[in-house]
């Protein structure tokens, strides 16, 4: 007997769907745990190996007829089928934990995300702590006035396709350049390019600016970006949880830092809570006595949370430890 090749498609789709759902739920649970001042725990799915085995036997027997038994021919057969999945989990510990959660996201990745199609509003609100000294909203403090204006101007430049990055080589190593193209021909400037240069304190006679990590630039043609770590981003998302009133009153949860009128009064992700989760949710987890979920119809929260999952890949800058080797016999 042979294993039909259709099992490859079935296994791949089913296991892929389960891994994706568990990744969302694990991340949501850790966002909730951080809001409750609890330690986050991540388990990576290092490998999934599914072994299918099919086998069987057949037999035939002939006998001479007799008065007691008129049967002259007998048939028999047996079959066997086994499906043995092996899943290997790998906890996020030590150096990998530090790189994935505590180290800031590479500044160049901010502009790579813009070039990849993610909106400037989403990227800057989530990832950027400050850029050339312009501070984003943080810990209840509103953003600098120029930060929101810069984000909106960059969003318009992004939509026009006049923003990009380049990688160049120097004797001292490689550098990543942020490029603002100037309008040419009959295309008229909207004024966003000069305004971006003015807000960032960049010279108006240059189109290329080196991206570095830090709060302030060291040269006139540098863009210093202070990025957040994944832990900071998850903490920020945690302040969008509708925490049960009893937990707030008892002091079991970190107090909210959003103030009316501040930029943070609109959370990055809206996470609902209650004794039971609705039947149709984007992701739902139970933490102690309550359920926490993101509504399936809340597209803005779903988009931001999906963006968070993508950021985990950018934050994983190091080579992960090798997964255990599992040998599957061919027979």
pLDDT means over runs of 10, the chain (331 residues): 63 77 91 92 77 64 61 64 72 73 85 84 91 84 86 87 68 64 54 87 83 89 90 89 89 69 65 92 93 94 91 62 37 38
Question: Residue 147: its pLDDT value, please?
Answer: 92
Tell me the sheet residues that pair with 272: 293
- 261-265 long-range contacts, CB within 8 A, separation 24+: 262/137, 262/140, 262/141, 262/142, 263/137, 263/142, 263/143, 263/148, 264/137, 264/140, 264/142, 264/239
Predicted local confidence at residue 138, as pLDDT: 77
Q: Where are the domains of the chain?
A: 107-228, 231-311
User: The pTM is what?
Assistant: 0.74
pLDDT at 286: 95
């Amino acid at each position: 007997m042979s294993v039909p090749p259709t099992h490859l498609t079935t296994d791949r789709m089913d296991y892929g769907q389960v891994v994706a759902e568990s990744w969302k739920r694990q991340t949501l649970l850790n966002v909730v745990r951080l809001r409750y001042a609890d330690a986050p725990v991540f388990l990576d799915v290092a490998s999934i190996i599914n072994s299918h085995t099919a086998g069987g036997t057949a037999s035939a027997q002939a006998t001479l007829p007799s008065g007691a038994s008129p049967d002259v021919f007998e048939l028999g057969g047996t079959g066997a089928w086994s499906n043995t999945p092996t899943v290997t989990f790998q906890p996020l510990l030590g150096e990998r934990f530090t790189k994935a959660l505590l180290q800031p996201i590479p500044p160049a990745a901010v502009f790579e995300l813009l070039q990849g199609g993610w909106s400037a509003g989403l990227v800057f609100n989530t990832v950027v702590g400050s850029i050339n000294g312009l501070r984003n909203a943080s810990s209840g403090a509103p953003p600098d006035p120029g930060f929101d204006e810069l984000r909106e101007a960059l969003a318009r430049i992004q939509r026009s396709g006049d923003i990009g990055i380049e990688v160049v080589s120097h004797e001292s190593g490689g550098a990543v350049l942020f490029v603002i193209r100037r309008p040419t021909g009959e295309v008229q400037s909207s004024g966003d390019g000069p305004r971006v240069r003015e807000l960032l304190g960049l010279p108006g006679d240059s189109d290329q600016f080196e991206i570095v990590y830090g709060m302030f630039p060291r040269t006139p043609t540098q863009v210093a970006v202070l990025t957040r770590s994944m832990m900071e981003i998850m903490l920020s998302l945690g302040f969008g949880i509708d925490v049960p009133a009893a937990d707030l009153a008892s002091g079991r949860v970190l107090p909210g830092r959003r103030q009316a009128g501040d930029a943070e009064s609109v959370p990055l992700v809206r996470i609902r809570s209650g004794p039971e989760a609705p039947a149709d949710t984007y992701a739902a987890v139970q933490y102690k006595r309550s359920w926490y979920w993101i509504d399936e119809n809340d597209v803005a929260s779903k988009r931001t949370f999906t963006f968070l999952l993508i950021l985990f890949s950018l934050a994983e800058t190091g080579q992960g430890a090798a997964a255990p080797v599992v040998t599957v016999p061919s027979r």
